[in-house]
């Protein structure tokens, strides 16, 4: 076999999405070395459209750890959202209810900030690697990989962090008998649209209607991000601009409110699923982010959960290197999962409360409107939503 160049590090991180890069950044600040391996190219990650809402705790982590203050300079602070049903909007005032806000700042920008910071700090991040395999997790952990130039390496590390996304290879390294998979599929998907148009509303609109759900989000002064509930098998090629706008109009317009329309720049179908894989730790391997759990997009919890995992994992690793104690590493899985299940519940609840199943009968539809009414007409109902949406106090 060809010779492998040996690299010694403390933490081998698989995946250079927000979870892997944030972990590497926090470790570097604490004087702990890491190498990050990523199968995709920098460009491919930067061009993937993802959700756009950051909890206040996520913003604090990005700013306080010195990744970038671009999120507060260029991002938009949102102090509330609108829930729209029966043709009427009901504002959920986050500041008034729980004294917190969220920031609209796309995940792509979070990635660019993190990748830029790691590069500026001399971090070892290798994109476009191939043939990544992990060995000897029970002994001296090693990761074999081939870099973008075709050179073979052996990365030796104290621990391995699997931040390698929803189709995680690292997850499969945990013996099947020792892991459990929780899974839920939903009978809908989102049709995501990027449109060249001015903003239609100051805040995000989550709209429930007889025709299904729609979400009006934003990107810039001239480009808007919007979604409508569709069938999981929907084909974007069957959707002309006019058909797309007609769908939004029927779900959102009314009572004096009209969406601002314009050319559609991009359209994609997003599949819905909830999954949790436990435990998130096996010996020297720790899973973080989508590698361990995915949520449906309603409420935009995915990235926020990934950042929370990484913060909890960093605390465990830092404590180990400072004191030799594995106490915080030993409780990593249960501490991270605490927030994961809260977010699963919130994402499931927002999804089921706002979407209309194709087969819903009159009772189910009327019950759903009763639920929406119960939430918006109660201080406690609105506060429950506001606390979950802006991010529970706790681990972070
Ligand atoms: C966005 C996505 C979401 O899933 C959400 O709940 C809010 C906003 C977005 O992409 O802007």
**What's the average model confidence in pLDDT over 103-121?**
97
Residue 202's pLDDT is 96
pLDDT tens string 128-187: 999 999 999 989 999 999 999 999 999 999 999 999 999 999 999 999 999 999 999 999
- Mean pLDDT across the stretch 81-103? 97
Q: What's residue 235's pLDDT?
A: 97
Give the residue whose CA is nearest to atom 3 of ligand 1.
300
Tens of pLDDT, residue by residue over 345-396, are 999 999 999 999 988 899 999 999 999 999 999 999 999 999 999 999 875 4
Average pLDDT of span 69-81: 96
CB-based pocket (< 6 A), ligand 1:
51-53, 204, 215, 217, 225, 297-300
Which residue of the set 282, 293, 301, 311 is catalytic?
A: 301
105, 186, 297, 311: the active-site residue = 297
Active site residue 389: yes
- Is 301 assigned a catalytic role? yes
SS (H, E, C) the chain: CCCCEEEECCEEEECCCHHHHHHHHHHHHCCCCEEEECCCCHHHHHCCCCCCEEEHHHHHHHHHCCCCCHHHHHCEEECEEEEEECCEEEEEEHHHHHCCCEEECCHHHHHHHHHHHHHHCCCEEECCCEEEEEECCCCCCEEEEECCCCCEEEEECCEEEECCCCCCCHHHHCCHHHCEEEEEEEEEEEEEEEEECCCCCCCCEEECCCCCCEEECCCCCCEEEEEEEECCCCCHHHCCHHHHHHHHHHHHCECCECCCCCCEEEEEEEEEEEEEEECCEECCEEECHHHCEECCCCCCCHHHHHHHHHHHHHHHHHHHHHHCCCHHHHCHHHHHHHHHHHHHHHHHHHHHHHCCCCCCCHHHHHHHHHHHHHHHCCHHHHHHHHHHHHCCCCCC
Pocket test for ligand 1, best of 194, 204, 304 (most atoms within 8 A of CB): 204
Residue 297 alpha carbon to ligand 1 centre in Å = 7
Residue 287's pLDDT is what? 98
Structure confidence by residue, pLDDT tens digits, 280-310: 999 999 999 999 999 999 999 999 999 999 9
Residue 384 designated active-site: no
Active site residue 90: no
Q: Is the pTM of the predicted complex or chain greater than 0.85?
A: yes
pLDDT for the residue numbered 50? 86
Tell me what percent of the residues of the chain surpass a pLDDT of 70: 99
Ligand 1 center from residue 122 Cα (angstroms): 33
Average pLDDT, the chain: 96
Active-site residue identified among 105, 127, 332, 389: 389
């Amino acid at each position: 076999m060809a010779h492998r160049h040996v690299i010694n590090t403390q933490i081998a991180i698989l995946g250079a999405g927000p979870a892997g890069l944030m972990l590497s950044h926090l470790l570097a600040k604490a004087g702990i070395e890491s190498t990050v391996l990523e199968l995709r190219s920098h460009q491919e990650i930067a061009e993937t459209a993802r959700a756009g809402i950051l909890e206040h705790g996520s913003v604090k982590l990005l700013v306080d750890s010195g990744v970038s203050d671009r999120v507060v300079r260029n991002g938009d602070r949102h102090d509330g959202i609108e829930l729209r049903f029966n043709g009427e909007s009901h504002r959920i005032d986050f500041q008034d209810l729980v004294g917190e806000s969220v920031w609209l700042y796309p995940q792509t920008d979070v990635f660019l900030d993190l990748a830029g910071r790691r590069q500026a700090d001399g971090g070892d991040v290798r994109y476009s690697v191939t043939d990544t395999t992990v060995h000897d997790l029970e002994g001296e952990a090693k990761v074999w990989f081939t870099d973008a130039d075709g050179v073979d390496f052996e990365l030796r590390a104290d621990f391995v962090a699997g931040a390698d996304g929803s189709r995680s290879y690292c997850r499969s390294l945990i013996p099947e008998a020792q892991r459990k998979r929780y899974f839920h599929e939903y009978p809908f998907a989102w049709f995501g649209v990027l449109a060249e148009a001015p903003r239609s509303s100051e805040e995000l609109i989550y709209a429930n209607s007889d025709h299904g759900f729609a979400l009006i989000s934003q990107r810039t002064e001239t480009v808007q991000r919007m979604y409508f509930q569709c069938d999981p098998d929907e084909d974007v090629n069957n959707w002309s601009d006019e058909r797309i706008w007609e769908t939004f109009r029927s779900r959102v317009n009314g009572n004096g409110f009209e969406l601002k329309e314009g050319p559609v720049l991009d359209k994609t179908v997003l599949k819905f699923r909830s999954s949790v894989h436990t435990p998130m730790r096996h010996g020297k391997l720790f899973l973080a982010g989508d590698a361990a759990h995915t949520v449906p997009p309603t409420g935009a919890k995915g990235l926020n959960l990934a950042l929370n995992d990484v913060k909890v994992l960093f605390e465990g690793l830092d404590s180990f290197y400072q004191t030799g104690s594995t106490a915080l590493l030993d409780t990593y899985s249960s501490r991270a999962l605490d927030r994961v299940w809260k977010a699963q519940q919130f994402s499931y609840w927002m999804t089921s409360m706002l979407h209309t199943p194709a087969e819903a009968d009159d009772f189910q539809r009327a019950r759903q409107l009763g639920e929406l009414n119960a939430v918006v007409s109660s201080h406690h109902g609105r506060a429950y939503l506001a606390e979950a949406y802006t991010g529970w106090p706790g681990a972070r």
